[in-house]
Structure 1
Amino acid sequence: MHARLLLFFLPLAALLSGCGARDDGSIPIAIIDNADEPFARSGSGRAAAAWDDATDEGLVAFDAYGRVIPALADRWIVTDDGTSYIFRLRDGNWPDGTAIDAESARRALSDAIRRQRGSPLGADLGRISEVRAMAGRVLEVRLNQPVPDLLVTLARPELGLLHEGRGAGPMRGSIAGRTGTLSPLNPEARGLPAEIGWEARARDIELTAMSATEAVQAFADGEVRVVLGGTIADFLLTDRTGLSRGALRVDDVDGLFGLAFVHRGGFLASAENRAALAMAVDRQALMEPFGIGNWEARLGMLPREGPTGRLLPLAQWRDMSLVQRRSTASARVAQWRSAHGDIAPIRIALPSGPGGARLFESLARDFAAIGLQTERVGFGAPADLVLLDQVAPSSDVEWYLNRFRCGLARRICIEEVDGLLREARRENPRAARAVLIDEAAALVEAQQIFISFGQPVRWSLVGGGIDGFQTNALGVHPLMEIAMQPR
């Protein structure tokens, strides 16, 4: 629980209202997104992802708890060797009235996978070797290597299936500027059995893209009932009066939250000097101003265990106390300065907003403790370090390594790691492949290309009467789940 929740008071009106909807029955929701065209299909922001998730079903989807549930596929099996997922599609139609069959779904999924080429998600999908249409409504996804969390990946909004440019639900809607209105499709329209009382449970969603400041204010004023898409950049905006008790929800997610070295020259050219910066950071003090209870600091970028089941090697400095770490780091800075002269200020790219400012204050103090000056820059400006803040779908080491592939992140990659991952993709024996990934993980650790802080921060604001929202380990909050009242 967030430490400041004890300061929030629930107004009497909120206690009495309970329904969480407008007079017309719709639920007003704000999503934090500053893009000029937040709902553009080519967009990569939070609003576009939420809209696509609601209107473009994939083979599977997420429920309110982040669990995988049927979507266009009503059931599936996985072969014993884990290299084939066979889906049976539900009986239904695409928006133009044509039947959803294996061939049309194959084309749609292949197109969705193709659109992700050159992205980290595309790298995650790299173990898919073929998508095959089988008889009638049966579709097979073949893999060249097992992917235990394939269903979690297929449930992502980027892998929603389109037919003639449109998705099959579970909602339909229209967009006007920065606001979109979504209506749930009834079960019959989705090829599912009719449900008694379904219409009484379904509510429309009015989704508006706002800045974080606007969204929090709109929630405090009762203009919206839910705020989605919060990150560390805007978390401190929730520290205000007027927010109801229990409104703030923080997802217990995992992933990458820290600084990547995008420039590795001068003092930062050696792994031991890059490690000096990681050693200087007091992670608990860094996050203390945010007051997030149970937040977990992480000294390393990767999960502790590799695919072979062995513990991954750790840098020796991780066993030191903060005082010892800073003493060692200070000596490295002094030695380099004595041999090479002054060290330019370390340029750190952080998000705008109060969260970014507070992170910089702490980091500047930490780096000053070992003799380094700092400069804050915006995203896109020349930098030495840039904040990475991404939620992981699982503890798969390869997911973490894919974020540092050279074809995707040239400035922060390691060529040798790419080579090991390519070789692992070609290996058929699972044990041999696991050893190669372990080697790649050990190399990343040795090269110190990332300063890990700990868990990413994902937060929402939720008013009374919203039953379809649950915090979860993936930080996913499907609008269809929020729209439906419980039975």
Structure 2
Amino acid sequence: MTLAANPHHRLTVRTGSKIGRLFCAVILLAGCNQRSDVGPVIVSAIGAPPAMVDPGRAELGGPSRLLLDSVAQGLVRFDAAGQIAPALAERWIVIDDGMSYIFRLREATWRDGSKVTAAQVVQRLRRQLAPRSRNALRPYLSAIDEIVEMTPQVIEVRLKRPRLDLLKLFAQPELAVIDERLDSGSGPFRINSRGKISVLLHPAIDPVRAVDDEITASGPEQSVQVIGERASRAIARFIERQSDLVTGGTFVDWPLIASATVAPANFKLDPAAGLFGLAIVNRDGFLADAQNRVALAQALDREALVAAFAPGWAAASQILPDQLDSAAAPTVPAWVNLPPEERRSGARARVRRWKETHTAPLTLRIALPKGPGSTILFGFIGAAFQSIGIEPRRVAMTETADLRLVDAVAPYDSARWYLAMACQRCGPAAQEALIKARDANSLAERAQNIAEADVAVEQDAAFIVIARPLRWSLVALRLRQWQGNSRAWHPLNALRDNSQ
């Protein structure tokens, strides 16, 4: 297997060749899978080549989100463990029972050396939340009333309704603060050079750490090269020891990694929080009846499905993974306590009764992304539906469908996010319950309304839960700070222990 020449001239041995096999045999005791901690960290991010994209104007792909998070900080950011860490804001407080967030900015500079001011941050955040903004997070930030500059170093975010979960939204790359003049941000990295499919990043100078303007230049090991490429090439590059990290893996690409020769120590699975299942996006015909929609959920063998993918991928049957900010424990479908065969026999009975009064064939269109993992997924779903008398048909994600796959990591820990994502085509009762939860005037009222919405969405049977999102990475041992986390997010400045 031959890839592009390593841009940093590392020694590369082709393990499939006779010389490579002999080389491994000779130094087996030293560990042929070891990589030396020399040169920039090379990261293959699965997806299109990374580009600086304004999240208010276009949706961000995985590699571009990673690039934006690396060169443009928000008020806060995620650390290696997926926890909130300071970024442009050095500290903050939440007052008035979650109605006001006050951030004090640290000393930070743009790429040209000019200072980042509160007025600039306010202006750019307002633009991301404007009505015409295409920012993917804007629907979840409707509680924000205004963002104001209190002093040149202090910003206040004032809310219309109390929220205690906004920090995780402000930590997302979509709310990073960009300087449009320079096509950059305030760090922690600066773009050094760009290639056709990659970007080379060097650490930015942190004015807080600068002493008398005498800055020691960072070594190459502190730099990161980000490559955007398809999963098959990213995996091959890692196996050839031409990269240190493959990130952004999902169930779609899992069959590729499952058949590759990768040391167990390099394979990592994130405990990602979110939704993985089928949203029922058409409510005509068979799908107009809630009990018929329940029959589809009963037909699936979730345990067998997830077992065909990654070890450790757990099946799920309820929308909420935990109580979160709801006033009650998650609603569990009534059929969960039935034996598997009883579930399927009940589903077959619903389909049989439908066919007794309808002559047209019962076919359901299932929208799935391209990729080998989707083929496996469709095999399990299709077989389950056929077993109860329904003919499945796979369509592209962009085509008209009856059921559409949702595979999303939760951006923040609110039960309302899960319910809103599941309720893509809900009935009036569920929609009204979700609106009441969104518009609640107190945290106690919000929690109670969320609990009621959970019941209403479950009764509406608008979503078929399968599991939590599957997110995997390949990680070289030199990346000592890499940690799996519920956000499945791994900042490029939190991969190595730079003291080593």
TM-score (norm 2): 0.86
Q: Distance in 2 between matches of 1:284 and 1:356?
A: 17
Contact 1:229 1:460 in 2 (8 A): yes
Indicate yes or no: 2:84 matched with 1:68: yes
**Secondary structure at the counterpart of residue 369 of structure 2:** coil
CA distance in 2, matches of 1:469, 1:307: 29
In structure 2, how many angstroms separate the alpha carbons of the residues matched to 1:389 and 1:129? 30
Of 454, 460, 470, the match for 1:447: 460
What displacement does 1:310 show?
A: 1.9
**Change beyond 3 A, Cα 1:252–1:304:** closer
The answer (yes or no) to whether the contact 1:234–1:355 under 8 Å persists in 2 is yes
- In the TM superposition, 1:19-30 aligns within 5 A as 19-21=36-38, 25-30=39-44
Structure 1 spans left out of the alignment, 5+ residues: 1-8
| RMSD of equivalent CA atoms | 2.6
In the alignment, the residues of structure 2 paired with residue 307 and residue 464 of structure 1 have an alpha-carbon distance, to the nearest angstrom, of: 37
Task: Tell me the equivalent position of 2:14.
Answer: none
Indicate the residue corresponding to 1:459 in structure 2. Answer: 472
What is the match of residue 436 of structure 1?
449
What does residue 120 of structure 2 align with?
104
For residues 302-325 of structure 1, the C-alpha deviation after alignment (integer angstroms, 9 at most, x for no partner) is: 345374522344432222121111
SS at match of 1:167: coil
Q: Does 1:273 align with 2:303?
A: no
Match in the other structure for 2:489: 476
Paired amino acid for 2:453: A
Match of 1:44 among 60, 73, 81: 60
Matches within 5 A, 1:71-150: 71-79=87-95, 81-114=97-130, 117=133, 121-150=137-166
The one-letter code of the counterpart of 1:231 is T
Which residue type is aligned with residue 171 of structure 2?
A
SS of match in other structure, 1:323: helix
Cα gap change, 1:178/1:316 in structure 2, threshold over 3 Å: closer, same or farther?
Answer: same
Paired residues of 2:319 and 2:419 also in contact (CA < 8 A): no
What is the distance in 1 between the residues matched to 2:330 and 2:300?
22
Is residue 343 of structure 1 aligned with residue 357 of structure 2? no
Name the CA distance, whole Å, in 2 between partners of 1:43 and 1:448.
29
Q: Secondary structure at the match of 2:69?
A: helix
Quick one: distance in 1 between partners of 2:113 and 2:375? 52
Give the 3 Å change call, closer, same or farther, for CA 464–308 of structure 1 in structure 2.
closer
Alignment CA distance shift 1:16-1:317 (3 Å)? closer
Correspondence list, 1:353-368, <5 A: 353-368=371-386
Instruction: Give ranges in structure 2 of 5+ residues lacking alignment.
Output: 1-20
Q: Distance between the aligned counterparts of 1:156 and 1:422, measured in 2?
A: 24
CA contact (8 A) 1:39 1:178 kept: no
Identity of matched residues, % = 36
**Cα deviations across residues 258-278 of structure 1 (Å, max 9, x unaligned)?**
111122211111111011010
Task: Tell me the CA shift for residue 93 of structure 1.
Answer: 2.3
Instruction: Rate the CA distance shift 1:257–1:178 in 2: closer, same or farther, 3 A.
Output: same
Q: 2:433 is matched with which residue?
A: 420
Q: Is it true that 1:246 corresponds to 2:265 in the alignment?
A: yes
Residue type matched to 1:60 in 2? V
SS at match of 1:147: coil
Return the offset for 1:101.
Answer: 2.2
User: Greater CA deviation, 474-483 or 152-161?
Assistant: 474-483
Contact 1:32–1:228, Cα closer than 8 Å, also in 2: yes
* Contact 1:20-1:225 within 8 A present in 2 as well: no
Residues 117 and 434 (structure 1), Cα distance of their counterparts in 2 relative to 1, 3 Å cut: farther
CA contact (8 A) 2:126 2:147 kept: yes
CA deviation map 1:172-202 (0-9, x unaligned): 11332211111111323xx445599783585
**Deviation of the 1:419 alpha carbon:** 3.4
1:326 pairs, out of 341, 344, 366, with: 344
User: Does structure 1 retain, via aligned residues, the 8 Å contact 2:128–2:135?
Assistant: no
